[in-house]
Amino acid sequence: MKLNLAELGFYFCGGIVFTHFIRISFWPAYFLAFTLLLACVFLVGKNFIFKILFACLIFILGCLLLKNTYILPQSHISRFIFYKNNSVYTARGFINSQPYSKDGRISFMFATQELQFNDSNYKCSGDILVQLKDTRAFSYGEALILRGNIHRPFKLYGKNISAIMRVSMPGSAVRLAKNYGQPVRKFAFYLKDRIESIIYRKLPPLTASILDAMVLGEKRGIPAQVYDAMVKSGTVHILVVSGFNVGIVAFMIMLLLKVLRLTRALRYITAIPCLVIYCLATGASPPVVRATVMAIFFLTGFLLRREPDVRNSLTLSALFILWINPRELFSISFQLSFVSVAAIIFLYPQLKAFFKAEAIKVRPLRFIAEGCLVSLSAWLGTCGFILYYFKILSPVTVLANICIVPLATLITLSGFSLVVITLIFPALAGPFAWANELFVVLLLKTNNFFIHLPYACLYL
């Protein structure tokens, strides 16, 4: 009797959910996990008993992993701050994210190493969100000394931010002659800056903001009315970098490497680090990590000449994300991302057989019918979550996705083509920029048509 990977993922997630709602003590659970591990080693030949004990072990590991995230070191930044505090802190550390500038303020995550306040110095750890009023350009990895007020975040900022530091006085940010940035992340952020500069230089602001979201996951520039319209039609997912975008990037990388006449094995080996860099450049959000891990398993399977398993790849990517941060299980992004893909994997074959899509002889009609069933599968899987979190039901989603997803594909392809052509042959970039603008206009008008249909969007 064997445990498949999907079952293991289910028990692991069950342990995380159990610990989220019910308090457990770490060390008794740790001792239980160790005991179960020894029992599994000695009973490895006993199929039924081994399966039960191993499932319990995976469940306890999920419990321990989430419990461990609640245990903060004594030097963590959250132990030195309060909700309302007028003390002036001096923090020493380095920039741990890509800085973002808007309206004369720069925001970035800051990895603290040392904290000073009330005439005392403390060794410190943990990231804080810094909002710095400065006109200078900062970059990932720079070592800084910052002076300002620190307070705990409000609910608006979410649970992943331990503290917020506001630095507004002149001369309160001092650069140090050190850089703690990781080379791969540095290159990823450099690549992202180059791509963004090309997009905003070659395209009008609205088109550039939508392409920036679809290619790099940056939604800050999208007008609120455009974003709300996409939410109403249930197509806002195209404005988030996900498996859809990773698939296009993988396709373009493989095509380019094939044009360069690299061998099959070398194409797969080269594509994997390229996808990792793209994942880092887009912020490594759960949908991108999920898609990147799945793509890596698929490429590895082809490289080893083995048929990849979609279900195992999906489960492994979920376990990979949860192993790094088990709290992601309770994020809306994680849930919608994995539920939509799982719904397509499990529901689509059933719907395809039920509606007898294979019986349609005309190929274009069969293609449209299968596209509708894929969209319906994803909608059926996610509509309950969307209804619970956003109190909105969009019956028009299935039809809207049939028309808008192909347009999104064209926008993404022409966007990447614009970047590549601009880097290689800048003089030929004009037609690609015009194509991008045309496709974006068509997308917005198509979306506007669907959301104005009767009963297109229902608020509960």
d(CA 268, CA 121): 51
**pTM of the predicted protein model:** 0.79
Say which residue the tokens 């048509």 belong to.
449
Determine the 3-state secondary structure of 130 from DSSP: strand
Categorize the per-residue pLDDT at 157 as very low, low, confident or very high, splitting at 50, 70 and 90.
very low
The pLDDT tens digits for 201-255 are 999 999 999 998 888 878 888 888 988 888 888 888 788 777 777 877 887 788 8
d(CA 388, CA 365): 35
Say which residue the tokens 């245990």 belong to.
71
Percent share of the chain, pLDDT over 70: 95
Out of 3.30.70.100, 3.30.930.10, 1.20.1630.10, 2.40.50.140, select the CATH number for domain 77-181. Answer: 2.40.50.140
State the Cα angle at 137 between 133 and 143, rounded to 5°: 90
* Structure-derived torsion over alpha carbons of residues 272, 277, 281, 285, reported in degrees to the nearest 10: 50
d(CA 127, CA 72): 12
- Mean pLDDT score across all residues of the chain: 84
Q: Report strand pairing: 164-167 vs 142-151.
A: antiparallel
pLDDT at 65 over 90: yes
Determine the 3-state secondary structure of 82 from DSSP: coil
The pLDDT tens digits for 271-321 are 888 888 888 888 777 778 877 887 887 788 777 766 667 787 788 888 888
d(CA 269, CA 265): 6
pLDDT value of residue 156: 42
Q: Name the most confidently modeled range: 65-69, 72-76, 268-272, 401-405.
A: 65-69
The pLDDT tens digits for 355-375 are 887 888 877 788 778 777 887
